[in-house]
Amino acid sequence: MTALFDPDRLLSTDSTERVARRLPPVEFARLAAAVREAADAERLVKTENGRTAPYPMLASLVQLTADAERHLARHVPLVVSAWRKVLLAHRTDARVRDFLAVPAVLRAWVDAAPIGDYRVDFCRFDLVGGDVATARVVEFNANCPGGVLFTSAYAALWRDVPPVRDVLEEWGVARTRLDDRHWFPEFLRTAVGPECADGPFGIFHKTGGNVLELDRMTDLLAETGHSAVRVDPGLEDWLARDLRAGYLKYGVQPVLADIARWPAFLDRVSSGKLRIANPLAGRWIGDNKLCLALLSDPRFSGMFTAAEQEAVERLIPYSRKVGDGVEPADLLADRAGWVVKGPYDTRGNSVYVGSEQEEDRWRTVVRRAAEDGWLAQRAVPAYRREWQGRPCYQDLSIVLLHGAWAGYTSRISESLRVNVAQGGGRQVVFGHRDTDWGAGERPPIA
């Protein structure tokens, strides 16, 4: 059994033993306090309901095992390739359109998009499981994945600590695109194209909604000489600012509630006058969790190469659309074996783990899943570990920029859903310098 995380390459205040050569726990805890102070100075904080608190970044760094990362490097690019085919097929394949059932209010703008907008520039594949044999990607976060900016900032702060830097050098950790302080401005400039690369930029978000990392985005854009403002796409005061490019940080469920207020925003995006990273077509198809069912369902296997099918088999759990691939009776007969999710769930709000549900509650969930065409996945054994003496679960997120590997992050939580929005924190994860993710997909080692 090949583990994902290397227990011998772990730096953590949770350790009761020497965490690395020359770095006992007491010293590492002192360094962690200094890193937290530096993070506060960088405004790496979260604000909810008007209250500001430190971002839940754990004082813990870990490296993947070399064999696990080679496994990911072999299969993840092929899953990305297959997923891209799904995005493009939505334009012309009636079977794909019917199966994914993108809501009508979104589909109108998806259909109006040019073919170049059927792409995802920035996403996060969330993987559950602790070893190569069982670990599976259970979600594609293709809308506006959170946590990556802050995790990369923390990784940089840790690299600036000489004793930690020495350990990371001994481990041979990879340098990634996310190690560049200004990776987000450079990513955004590339995503919107050369005509709009100099801005001004709008960071579009819901007034009073989730503002995590938004200040960081505008700060980094300002550091690179670009004007950026935070604006609500439904409030047309931004029209006078001559915004030509931007980033939409807006969960799909809030979009469904608010999109009627967006005529000017949608018209500008659709006409090409406003360019955004993760264009509407790519994000609203790609973020649909039924993409996982389509990849897994043998009825659609003819869309993919043999290599892509093998990669899907290795990395995507058995996934089906309820009522069109798996029957409600199957879910009811094996409650502990299934997880059911709304197609556009965010923050785990409509993720139902069968083993956690009472029988009557499960019947209600399955009924709704059948009526609305939700995703059902075979439950993946979660990776269990302890944190501060409490039993927890851990996942792994693979970050992709323009379809290429860019780095990792991880979450540790007492909740089986392993969602930081529901408690827990993030961990910095490193890869290996000699792992081959493919030509052109890694910057030179600085």
Q: Tell me the DSSP string of 4-60.
A: SEEEEEEEETT-SS--BTTB-HHHHHHHHHHHHHHHHHTT-EEEETTEEEE--EEEE
With cut-offs at 50, 70 and 90, classify the pLDDT of residue 445: very low
3-class DSSP state for residue 170? Answer: helix
What is the per-residue burial (b if ≥16 Cβ within 10 Å, else e) of 269-307? Answer: bbeeebbbbbbbbbbbbbbbbbbbbbbbbeebeebbeee
Give the pLDDT score at 383.
Answer: 94
User: Which stretches does DSSP call E strand in 103-251?
Assistant: 122-128, 136-141, 201-205, 228-231, 245-249
Q: What is the rounded average pLDDT of the residues 69-84?
A: 98
Q: What is the rounded average pLDDT of the residues 259-266?
A: 96
Q: Would you say 113 and 279 are in contact if contact means Cβ atoms under 8 Å apart?
A: yes
> Could you tell me what percent of the chain has a pLDDT over 90?
82
Taking alpha carbons only, the member of 74, 402, 415, 140 closest to residue 293 is 140
pLDDT tens-digit map of 333-389: 999 999 999 999 877 678 999 999 999 999 999 999 999 999 999 999 999 998 888
In the block, residue with structure tokens 């207020």: 261
Could you give the residue ranges of the DSSP H alpha helices within 248-389?
A: 252-258, 263-271, 280-286, 290-296, 306-315, 328-333, 359-372
> Could you tell me what percent of the chain has a pLDDT over 70?
95
What is the per-residue burial (b if ≥16 Cβ within 10 Å, else e) of 167-197? Answer: bbeebebbbbbbbbeebbbebbbebbeeebb
Mean pLDDT, all residues of the chain: 92
Tokens of 432: 């290996």
Higher pLDDT, 45 or 399: 399
3-class DSSP state for residue 128? Answer: strand
Give the pLDDT score at 15.
Answer: 66
Tokens of 394: 């851990």
Q: Would you say 262 and 269 are in contact if contact means Cβ atoms under 8 Å apart?
A: no
Residue 212: burial class (beta carbons within 10 Å; 0-12, 13-18, 19+): buried
Instruction: Give me the residue spans of the domains in the chain.
Output: 318-379
Q: What is the rounded average pLDDT of the residues 75-88?
A: 98
pLDDT tens-digit map of 1-58: 899 999 999 998 876 555 666 688 788 999 999 999 999 999 998 877 777 888 999 9
CATH among 3.30.420, 3.10.450, 3.30.1490, 3.40.1400 for 318-379 = 3.30.1490
Report the interhelical angle of 214-223 vs 148-159 (nearest 10°).
60
Pairing of strands 375-378, 338-341: antiparallel
**Cβ of 237: how many Cβ atoms within 10 Å?**
8
Q: Would you say 56 and 212 are in contact if contact means Cβ atoms under 8 Å apart?
A: no
Q: Would you say 200 and 226 are in contact if contact means Cβ atoms under 8 Å apart?
A: yes
CA distance 254 to 116: 25
Q: What is the CA radius of gyration of the chain?
A: 21
> Is this structure's pTM higher than 0.75?
yes
Q: Would you say 340 and 354 are in contact if contact means Cβ atoms under 8 Å apart?
A: yes
Helix/strand/coil percentages in the chain, nearest 5: 40, 25, 35
Pairing of strands 338-341, 390-401: unpaired
Q: Would you say 327 and 333 are in contact if contact means Cβ atoms under 8 Å apart?
A: no
